[in-house]
Amino acid sequence: MLRAIVRYGRPSLHAPAEPVGEITDEIQRLVDDMIDTMYAAPGIGLAAPQVGVALRVCVIDLSVGKRGGELITLINPEFVERDGMQLEDEGCLSLPGFTATVARPARVVVRGRDRHGAPRTVEGTGLLARALQHEIDHLDGKLFIDRLRGLKRDMIVRKVRKLERAGRW
Ligand code: NI
């Protein structure tokens, strides 16, 4: 089932999410819905706070469902390693229409659980490293614009406010 993706300004996007305890049927439904919603958007990643759920769950698929085996579901992910640096353009389904160049580590290792509760470690470089960091940022209540320098961030926030006032956000 598709869930509505909330946009910049909604409280769930701007506060840290809670760790998942037991993986219940409700969590399984959330994961299924997040995968459907990510593919429908379409997007390469989605975090639970983006569908208004303050839990540490995210899904990533760089192929947007086009290649089997690329779907990554992570529950309670944490960084084990981060190194290097990359500068690339980045966007977010919660900030449609906006992109900016964001500096991030070039390689990360993340440890969490899969949807069955089994430990899962994911190593990523390039775009996968970026997606992992972007989604874990969501779980910490951060959007990519929170990683920009003041001026660029303020410009995007001003444009969002303007869209809000016009009833188009
Ligand atoms: Ni995002």
**Per-residue pLDDT reduced to its tens digit, 37-92:** 999 999 999 999 999 999 999 999 999 999 999 999 999 999 999 999 999 999 99
Report domain 11-165's class.
alpha beta
Cα distance between residue 26 and residue 120, in whole Å: 21
- CA 46 to centroid of ligand 1, rounded, Å: 6
Mean pLDDT of the chain: 97
Report CA torsion sign: 62, 22, 36, 90: negative
Catalytically active residues are 135
- CA 58 to centroid of ligand 1, rounded, Å: 10
- CA 136 to centroid of ligand 1, rounded, Å: 9
Cα distance between residue 138 and residue 45, in whole Å: 11
Q: Which residues of 26-44 are buried (b: 16+ CB within 10 A; e: fewer)?
A: ebeebbebbbbbbbebebb
